Amino acid sequence: MPRERQELATVRNSLSDSESIGVFGPEEILAAGCHSAVGRLVNYWRSIHPQAGLPGRRDVDPVAIPHLLDRMWMLDVETEPRLRFRFRLVSAKNTAVLGNDLTNHYVDDLVSNFQTTVTYRALSTVVEKGLPNWRRGEPDLPHIDEFLDIERVMLPLATDSRSVDVILGLSVFYRKNGSEF
């Protein structure tokens, strides 16, 4: 069994249904019925993915995906002295939803008990396993009570092709009235 498939099996077996943090793996995300913008970003990530290892930030060309930029975000991953995530880039739509531009802010400084959230567990697993993650469900971050659901994808990037140091993300927000933001 290829390493990525073994990792997927390990991730699935380690989570119970009650604590699901989403779907792992690009094919699995595409098969899950994701939003078209999520699917386009996953396919773009696959197109820049080298045969061995992970793509890096240097491989992401915004000119190739202009139609996705208004929903995208990036997190820098810091592992020392502990795992932390800092916003490198926050799109206009994400800024509108969150209430202000969070660029250069640490997520754990903005969210109380961040280490207990579904989002933190998903981010940590993306870093640890080097696998993409997708989830649609109730938001677990503050300042977005107006929204019933959030759909997001997290794609690992690694400068050295191995150690995840940036997470490329995209979010789609669904209002309580069912409309998409």
- 119-174 tens-digit pLDDT: 999 999 999 999 999 999 887 766 666 677 889 999 999 999 999 999 999 999 98
What DSSP string runs through 9-59?
A: HHHHHT--GGG---EESHHHHHHTT--HHHHHHHHHHHHH--SSS---GGG
pLDDT higher than 70, residue 30:
yes
**pLDDT value of residue 70:** 96
Cβ(158)–Cβ(168) under 8 Å?
Answer: no
CA 159 from centre of chain: 17
- Which comes out higher in pLDDT, residue 31 or 149? 31
Structure tokens at 59: 């491989």
Residue ranges of domains in the chain, CATH in brackets: 3-175 (3.30.450.20)
**pLDDT value of residue 18:** 36
- Dihedral sign computed on CA atoms, order 159, 95, 99, 119: negative
Pairing mode, if any, of strands 166-175 and 72-78? antiparallel
pLDDT higher than 50, residue 2:
no
